[in-house]
Structure 1
Amino acid sequence: MVNQATGLPAVEVPDFIEIRGEYAALTMGRDSDLWPLQPGWQLFFQATEVSTGIGQLCLVMTTKGDTLIKRVIRSGSRRYNLEHFNPSVPTLEDVEIAEVYRLVGMNCDTA
């Protein structure tokens, strides 16, 4: 099980994903707008430095308390732009990040 540190609901880790260090996981809900990700899919993220998450799809916790799945883009010395999966959704600009977890695995076999 993972997610003790993030406050997200705990998720069982499948055997094919190796857990090292601090991890977070979540199960996609029916109300997700992260096409092509489907409801029930599980995403697994590993804690990393913000600089390592640049250009990557990440679970991002902002200093304002938001938890988002976005692509991290450098915006300045301490702030970042957060791009949505869907290009029609506006990019969040000039965001201060508290924590970053980069995507390291998915379990799409949730039947």
Structure 2
Amino acid sequence: MTKFLISFPAQAMDVPAKDLPAVGEAARQVIREAKAAGVYVFAGGLNGAVPPLRVAADGTATHDTYPQTKDFDGGFCVLELPSREAALHWAAKLAEACRCAQELREFGHDPES
């Protein structure tokens, strides 16, 4: 089994405010299906109200990010699936629920994780 990250940036979700409760419920329904199917690992959204910290090897923390991740936000889930085809299926379900395209990325295999 392989773990897949399915995600979208916050600005991709262009949904009228009145539709947000329905979108949220549709997304939660897909997550409930993933849990019932036994493929759910983790899901959530990054809290945009809490600024990120960059922590150096010596433990020093600064209130900044790598330039290429400055706008890293939005929602994501991690599913453990038997194939890329299965991941495409779940990504499509989430795209429909969230009303925006999803990015699909595959985690590299690490026998320790």
Question: If the length of structure 2 is used for normalisation, what is the TM-score?
Answer: 0.23
| Bigger RCO (CA 8 Å, 6+ sep) | 2
Greater helix fraction, Structure 1 or Structure 2: 2
TM-score (norm 1): 0.24
Structure possessing the higher radius of gyration over alpha carbons? 2
